[in-house]
Amino acid sequence: MSPEFWQQRWQDNRIGFNQSEVNPLLTTYFTALNLSANSRVFVPLCGKSIDMVWLVSQGYDVVGVELAESAVQAFFSEHDISPTITQSTATEHTDNPAVKCYQGLLLGQIIQLWVADIFALTADDIGQVDAVYDRAALIALPADMRLRYSEQVRQLSNNVNGDVSSDVNGNTPQLLLTLNYDQSKRNGPPFSISSGQVQQYYSNHYQITELEGKPSILNAAPELTVTEHVWLLVSK
């Protein structure tokens, strides 16, 4: 998918993927990450997700990345936050004014949202990360981008390890949500991800545990039989 595709979706307000309620799989399974208070959670391709508000309400700081600046602006506006806006000072971004950082406080926690192509950022940009929550990023990407994406998220978040793993040099744990459906009837986004593909993208670096798979409804194609899966990824 080109950056222009997602920019246009936000511009046209074709954002059916944006949910009005917190994802119940997040509230049910986030404790599996075993994070301490004030841990920092990375939310890739975050949009203006209400899930970030839930994370803040649980006492976590949030750092997100979103391609569409209008989505980031909408998040801060809808939650009555006056953000501080800065342009990245990293050398590799000096000629790219589109790379910006919006930061504010919500319920006493820090929310920092980057406006950028996720592949343009570095771990130095993102800073400390204790866990990754991927609800709608992997499933938004076509197959030829997913392996690169999974490795980029690992690189962006590998500067610290969460409490769930005993390997202090390992990879930051992730809570990953995916969808599975018959691709012959529809071919995303959101894209169908099989259990075999999850293994393909993550098994080199993570121990993968499926926490739940349950029936779900895809707003764009309610007639489809869809299963939503939640995975815990822990450093090997």
E strand map for the chain:
40-43, 61-66, 84-87, 100-106, 109-115, 131-134, 174-180, 206-216, 226-235
Per the CB < 8 A criterion, the answer to whether 113 and 75 are in contact is: yes
**How many whole angstroms separate alpha carbon 88 and alpha carbon 85?**
10
Indicate which CATH number applies to the domain containing 181.
3.40.50.150
CB atoms within 10 A of CB 92: 13
Q: What pTM value is reported for the model? A: 0.89
* Cα three-residue angle 113-134-55, rounded to 5 degrees: 60
Question: How many domains, the chain?
Answer: 1
- Give the alpha-carbon dihedral of 17, 43, 105, 130, to 10 degrees: 160
The structure tokens 């246009």 sit at 8
Taking each helix axis from N to C end, the angle separating 195-202 and 143-156, rounded to the nearest 10 degrees, works out to 50
Domain around 158: 3-13+22-235
pLDDT in tens, the chain (236 residues): 566 665 666 565 655 554 678 999 999 999 999 999 999 999 999 999 999 999 999 999 999 999 889 899 999 999 999 999 998 655 455 455 578 999 999 999 999 999 999 999 999 899 999 999 999 999 999 999 999 999 999 999 986 444 444 344 578 999 999 999 998 998 878 899 999 999 999 999 999 999 999 999 887 788 999 999 999 999 99
> Helix or strand or coil: residue 32?
helix
**How many whole angstroms separate alpha carbon 74 and alpha carbon 63?**
16
